[in-house]
Chain A
Amino acid sequence: MLTRWRVSCAALMLSFVGCGGKSAAERVAEHERARVSWEQTARFVGAEWVARAIPDAFVARTLARAHEELQSEAEALRKDELSEQQRALLRDSLGAARALGDSLARAVGASDRRAAAQLVDNSPRANADSLLRRAALR
């Protein structure tokens, strides 16, 4: 009886783990989503700071948080068993996102709203995986 119960539990856990296993395409999408989210958070915070809608301390804290999150995303990417080509593409976009966040943090630190505005407006838009976004709103 106990053995049967144990076997059932093991089967249930295996089915959970099986459901939790993700394909390479799904993992790429997840990395992209995380990168876009924090890059866009940094951009959003920057734009609101330029518009004087949020306090300096909040901007600094959120940009630092974005930096940390992008850093840990880079770490997660390094450990992920993706193809080298996929990894390189993701690494480049993560690097660009971190560069934007760090530049914004420097502009905020120097109270340079003009530079921050330029960064928000001119840096290439995060390709905010529009397919997913449209799917979510549909």
Chain B
Amino acid sequence: MKKVLEITLGIVTSIGGFLEVGSLATSVQAGAAFGFQLIWAIVLGTICLIFLVEMSGRLAAVSKQTLAGAMRDRFGYPFFLIPLVAMSALGLLVLASELGGLSLALQLLTGISFPWWAPLGAFAAWLLLWKGTFGIIEKGASLLGLITLVFVYAAFRMHPAWSLVASGIRPSMPKHESMHYWFIAVSIMGASIAPYLLYFYSAGAVEDKWNETDVAVNRVSATLGMSFGGLLSIAVLIVAALVFVPRGIRIERFDQIALMLTPVMGRAGFVVFACALGIACFGAMLEIALSVAYMAAQGFGWKWSEDARPRDAARFSLVYTATLVGGCLIVVIGVDPLAITLLSMALTAALLPVAIVPFLILMNDAHFVGQHRNGWFSNTVVCAIVGLAFVLAVVSIPLELLGS
């Protein structure tokens, strides 16, 4: 009974925590520009994420080590600095895009311009990290994030042609704007396979004191939770396709996205959209700030724990504070939140090998995972998808930047 409860809670929190500004923005852009044609990118990204999340939980449960700690032990400091610097820089960009999303949500609800909300949003996140515990942050934000299920409701209410939706699962070549098509595909994969999630997940598993008996629970909750989360992204894409394509609207600004639920739900749709965006972004901000702090503290061997008092883990607390301040500065100087979101997601895809290849080596090292080593199937799937995302990113990012 306890296991069932754990699995259910794991699934529910995965669903609630799945959607954030990156997956939302990329799914909406894909739906508005290419209808259902890019569903395959969400499916591929989600499959890869299922494998990776399961692996990071397994690593923590078996080795009692976090991903960052294990990486430092296996490869040494000099090598560890590469993913640390890359992921921290990327984390800052992604955090800025999440804070931009939260600020825009507050702008939608209040009418007050979004840069004014960024310092307040960053302060609220910092306060929660400073005062809160890991359980509150992980489960609280994720449970509130269940509001994003409204997109599934809207998708069903709009009665899409399900055969057309299903046809989007099969990868296909673009019929127009091929450069933009591949850029969005890469951004979707970058948004789905977010490396910060792996650091957060493995640190959470250590914080929750997982052991080998949790491997099966981890497998079920990662698989089901991430699968349902992927369905949530697909629902967003479906709603965007049905709302924006018939009107000929291309998504260039967040203002346009805010209209996506009003055809189905009227005024309530506008408010619910803003709440869903705000909650999803706030939850993701907490996770990203913590992930950067976890990675630095675990990598350098500092004391770390979200449950510890800040004075007892001072350098850990300093890193998440600095990350929030840095993200806030990017938003305050007025960078377009949608542009920074899409770019950071595409860059995530380009940097995936830096984060994932060392992780795969760890997962095949008996010293860390004993008999729970990866099989050939999971190695092949993750390598293929990460390789595809990397190649597409390297080709499409310069083309998109040149095109724009």
Contact = CB atoms under 8 A, between A and B. Distances in A.
Interface of A: 16-17, 19-20, 33-34, 36-37, 40-41, 43-45, 48, 51-55, 57-58, 61-62, 65, 69, 126, 128-129, 132-133, 135-138
A119 B248 CA distance: 18
13 contacts: A20-B403, A33-B248, A34-B250, A37-B248, A40-B249, A45-B259, A54-B259, A55-B270, A61-B255, A65-B253, A65-B255, A133-B248, A137-B164
The 10 closest A-B pairs by CB, nearest first: A128-B248, A57-B111, A136-B35, A137-B35, A20-B402, A37-B250, A36-B248, A53-B262, A135-B175, A40-B247
A132 B247 contact: no
Interface string B150-185: 000000000000001000000000011001000000
Contacts of B403: 20
B140 interface: no
B399 interface: yes
B248 to A, nearest CB: 3
A132 B33 CA distance: 9
Contacts of B259: 44-45, 48, 54
B270 A54 contact: yes
Contact of A40 (B164, B175, B248): B248
A19 B36 contact: no
Given A51-B266, A58-B258, A135-B175, A41 B249 contact: yes
Given A44-B249, A135-B176, A58 B402 contact: no
Interface string B239-281: 0010001111110110110110010001101100000000000
Given A17-B402, A33-B250, A48-B270, 11 more contacts: A20-B179, A36-B248, A53-B270, A55-B270, A58-B111, A61-B255, A62-B256, A65-B255, A129-B248, A135-B176, A137-B164
Contacts of B245: 133, 136-137
B270 A20 contact: no
Given A55-B270, A58-B111, A126-B248, A136 B33 contact: yes
Given A16-B399, A65-B253, A53 B269 contact: yes
Contacts of B176: 132, 135-136
Interface in B169-203: 175-176, 179
A97 B202 CA distance: 52
A57 B253 CA distance: 16
A44 B270 CA distance: 13
B394 to A, nearest CB: 10
Contacts of A132: 176, 248
B179 to A, nearest CB: 7
Given A20-B402, A136-B245, A54 B262 contact: yes
Contacts of B33: 136
A55 B269 CA distance: 12
A48 B262 contact: yes
Contacts of A136: 33-35, 37, 175-176, 241, 245
B352 interface: no
Given A53-B267, A135-B176, A16 B402 contact: yes
A137 B252 contact: no
A57 B110 CA distance: 8
B398 interface: yes
B250 A58 contact: no
B108 interface: yes
Contacts of A126: 248
